[in-house]
Amino acid sequence: MFPQCGLLAVVDPIPQFNPLVGGRVMARLWELNEGFFNSTRLNHYETLFTVGNGYLGTRGTFEEGHSGCIASTLIHGIYDHAPGMLVPELANAPNWLPVAITVDGTPFQLVTSTSDFMRPPQGVVIGYERTLDIKRGVLRREVLFRAATGAVVRLVFERFASLYDNHLLAQRVLIVAVDGSPTVRLHAFLDAEVMNSTGQHWTAPARVYSNGHGFGLAAETLQSHYRLGMASRLVGPGAITPLPHPTQPGAVAEFTLKQEEAATFDKLTAVFTSRDTDEPLDAAGAALSGAVSDGYDALLAAHEAEWAAYWRDSDIVIEGDDALQAAIRFTTYHILIAAPRHDERVSIGAKTLSGFGYKGHVFWDTELFVLPVFTFSQPKLARNLLMYRYHNLAGARHKAQANGYEGAMFPWESTDTGEETTPQWSDVQPDGSRIRIWTGDHEQHVSTDIAYAAHQYWRWTGDDAFFTQHGAELILDTAVFWGSRAEDKGSRYEISQQIGPDEYHENIDNSVFVNRMVVWHLQTALDVLGWLKQRAPADAARLESALDLSAARLAHWRDIITRMYIPFDTEQAIHVQFPGFFDMEYIPVQAYQPRITSVQAILGHPRTIQSQVIKQADVVALMALLDDQFDVPPGFDRRTVMLNNWNTYYPRTDHGSSLSPAMHALQAARMGMTGVAYDEFDHAAHIDLEDNKGNARDGIHAAACGGVWQAIVLGFCGLHISPAGELVTRPNLPVHWRRVSFTVHYRGERRTITVGHPEGSPAA
């Protein structure tokens, strides 16, 4: 067993922050810094210090492990069912990090509490700093360690997951004798004894070797039979000897340093799976040989060049707000490291690849919150994510058919198969019960969210090749689903048994979000088909035949568009989230501030669902998505209704979902309510940094990260496409922001846009 790295099965409740034990992380302009080791934040900070490259993500767990650590490497697409679990999850891959060091026989470990400092030192850490260089994607930790003999060494650990070659992982360890002349033993190894919190996913290594400086292993997931090969080599001065082990193959170096002498070791690792090649271990061995001959410095330089290219396109520069500048870079870093670069059959899970939260499942979070960031700034990444949905149309068609509908009905939670993977029941609650989870049955708006993302990508990129071959089919076949789903009630169409974004209210009829977005969807489908007939008639004919887009079906869509029920209260001049919403108990959500737990957690599930407490932006999300197309009944003033909607729903919103604050920030900024927009933005940008939701240990909140990028560009800067097809901004910057600059790709052209305060405004 890897020293002191518990097998993660048990996750303790979050301890209170204790300033005596350690410090908080600081987000600086281009880095995340932890100046004192904070054991109470061990798992939270492991999430924050994740490195990754769009192929895999590895949490910021220490090389030597630590009591209670959650070491995990999650590889896109490698899902498996743990024994007894009903839904698959991303399987924690063998750990490539371990480097165990002893100094004069004293094992190097970090102390866990102030009381350890009081004990006669077996070994004491007397200096510590951990830094994630966000600009270069490199994690570095520097420690001063005094062994029981009194010898002091400086240890510097560096690691990165290569963005240049996604299969390569690199570590460097520098050991400097600061005081004394210590004998050091460095043991580098791979650890196949890994689990998820739910259980085991891997067979015992089918092949394992340690020879010369190299060591490696091959393993297979128990249920899904994905095979993995991982090969490492320890490169350094002096003799390195193999240390065979059935599950932890490694190599050892033992040496004595003179005072002020230093030794540097590189541990290079390559990883492949059967998703990449038939012989993953052979492929890893070959890639590793190339990496070793290139050497750490060359690998690092290639990696840095890729990061420079990423930031050229995805960075947002905020002048006048260093704290939020730092936060937005941190959040952008995390969605960049989660985005598949060379694989269009995987997508980004709700918690990226940085933790076990939501089991690595893909939700609407990707299409509405994360993907648009790439549509604007890295279109190739956006295309990969849309292709994931395209390749999974079979699963969506299957779901529609199984539920008695036509077309494609995407799963609420999706994995490698494209089938519905939402669990039907929650984990066991404290009272021993389980709660029925309805989202997989009734949260159907995900199909429209995917269509929205495909359409938005096309509008912004002008990628007609993608659209004619793939994007249009996504929009049209999901429209076929809605055409079969809407219920003709005689005088109007209705949609029953839905869950809108406000998931506190389940199985409701006529969610205004759902009904109005379905109208948008069907109208967009008709427009898209019209465009195809004009511009790509062969593709139009192909899709008309394949999806049965008959004249009768299109007429039915038009009928739904005209007669869909859009709940609206003419007296209050507001959209009604769903009929009956205002008959429920009113609870003043603001009265429960400050809190990091949701109002639902405070009031309990049964009371919350019978109340007007809203989980997250719902009507507000509708306004944000439709933007200029947001319409009101004849005779009503659009701006007045929008303000009324805001004033009605915002005070009732719990923000029980991490998706909520950024969506509110975007819409508030668009409406010119810069103060409230800023507060919500600030909250969203710190959800993981400050652990605002209390669960950052489970992974990064991808949607919040994407949401804040969009809140700046679409909200504060007001970027949009004018009716004439021009890119225009409508800035509403917070007063203390001087300027904001960002880059977007618009119809094949890369444009850098700088936005300030409008001339004549007090802040200009």
As given in the structure block, the two tokens for residue 73 are: 């490497």
As given in the structure block, the two tokens for residue 537 are: 């008639």
Report the run of H or E that residue 133 belongs to, with start and end.
strand 123-133
State which residue, 358 or 388, has the beta carbon closest to ligand IFM: 358
One-character DSSP codes across 48-63: HT-EE-SSEEE----T
Q: How far apart are the first and last CA of the chain?
A: 61
State which residue, 600 or 729, has the beta carbon closest to ligand IFM: 600
Residue 484, CB-side half-sphere exposure with 13 Å CA sphere? 18
What are phi and psi for residue 172, nearest 5 degrees? -135, 135
Nearest to 717 by CA among 699, 688, 737: 737
Q: In angstroms, what is the minimal distance from the CB of 196 to ligand IFM?
A: 18
State which residue, 4 or 424, has the beta carbon closest to ligand IFM: 424
Report the run of H or E that residue 114 belongs to, with start and end.
helix 114-118
Q: In angstroms, what is the minimal distance from the CB of 358 to ligand IFM?
A: 6
Q: In angstroms, what is the minimal distance from the CB of 623 to ligand IFM?
A: 17
Residue 572, CB-side half-sphere exposure with 13 Å CA sphere? 16
Which of helix, strand or coil describes residue 95? strand
Q: In angstroms, what is the minimal distance from the CB of 175 to ligand IFM?
A: 42
Residue 61, by phi and psi: left (phi above 0), alpha (psi -120 to 50) or beta?
beta
Q: In angstroms, what is the minimal distance from the CB of 339 to ligand IFM?
A: 17
Q: In angstroms, what is the minimal distance from the CB of 360 to ligand IFM?
A: 11
Amino acid code (one letter) for 637: D
State which residue, 87 or 235, has the beta carbon closest to ligand IFM: 87
State which residue, 163 or 684, has the beta carbon closest to ligand IFM: 684
- Report which DSSP code applies to 694: S
Dihedral over Cα of 619, 625, 628, 630: its sign: negative
State which residue, 21 or 705, has the beta carbon closest to ligand IFM: 705
Q: In angstroms, what is the minimal distance from the CB of 451 to ligand IFM?
A: 17
Strands (E), 633-690: none
Q: In angstroms, what is the minimal distance from the CB of 617 to ligand IFM?
A: 10
Nearest to 416 by CA among 343, 342, 346: 346
As given in the structure block, the two tokens for residue 85 are: 């679990």
Please return the burial class of 150, using the count of CB atoms within 10 Å of its CB with bins 0-12, 13-18 and 19+.
Answer: exposed
User: Rounded CA gap, 662 and 655, in Å?
Assistant: 10
Say if strands 227-235 and 493-494 run parallel, antiparallel, or are unpaired.
unpaired
Which of helix, strand or coil describes residue 4? coil
What is the crossing angle of helices 393-402 and 379-391, to 10°?
40
Please return the burial class of 726, using the count of CB atoms within 10 Å of its CB with bins 0-12, 13-18 and 19+.
Answer: exposed
State which residue, 108 or 412, has the beta carbon closest to ligand IFM: 412
Return residues touching ligand IFM (CB under 6 A).
350, 358, 363-365, 503, 657, 659, 703
Residue 37 CA: distances (Å) to CA of 153, 268, 381 = 17, 26, 36
One-character DSSP codes across 179-232: ES--EEEEEEE-B----BTTB--BPSPSEEEEETTEEEEEEEBTTT--EEEEEE
Amino acid code (one letter) for 132: L
Residues 747 and 460 sit within 8 Å (Cβ to Cβ):
yes
State which residue, 575 or 655, has the beta carbon closest to ligand IFM: 655
> What strand order describes the sheet that includes 207-211?
25-28, 31-34, 123-133, 138-147, 152-161, 168-179, 262-273, 227-235, 214-220, 207-211
Q: In angstroms, what is the minimal distance from the CB of 412 to ligand IFM?
A: 8
Report the run of H or E that residue 759 belongs to, with start and end.
none
User: Rounded CA gap, 95 and 700, in Å?
Assistant: 20
Count of C-beta atoms within a 10 Å radius of residue 79: 26
Report the run of H or E that residue 45 belongs to, with start and end.
helix 42-48
Q: Is 726 a catalytic residue?
A: no
- The alpha-helical segments, DSSP class H, found in 671-726 are 674-685, 702-710
State which residue, 363 or 390, has the beta carbon closest to ligand IFM: 363
State which residue, 193 or 691, has the beta carbon closest to ligand IFM: 691
Q: How far is CA 290 from the centre of its chain?
A: 31
Residues 95 and 71 sit within 8 Å (Cβ to Cβ):
yes
Q: In angstroms, what is the minimal distance from the CB of 689 to ligand IFM?
A: 18
State which residue, 377 or 616, has the beta carbon closest to ligand IFM: 616
User: Rounded CA gap, 408 and 391, in Å?
Assistant: 12
Amino acid code (one letter) for 519: V
Nearest to 729 by CA among 712, 717, 745: 717
State which residue, 205 or 360, has the beta carbon closest to ligand IFM: 360
Q: In angstroms, what is the minimal distance from the CB of 133 to ligand IFM?
A: 28
Residues 377 and 743 sit within 8 Å (Cβ to Cβ):
yes
Q: In angstroms, what is the minimal distance from the CB of 364 to ligand IFM?
A: 6
State which residue, 153 or 659, has the beta carbon closest to ligand IFM: 659
Q: In angstroms, what is the minimal distance from the CB of 260 to ligand IFM?
A: 51
Task: Check 64, 473, 503, 544 and give the catalytic one.
Answer: 503
As given in the structure block, the two tokens for residue 155 are: 């240890």
Active site residues: 503
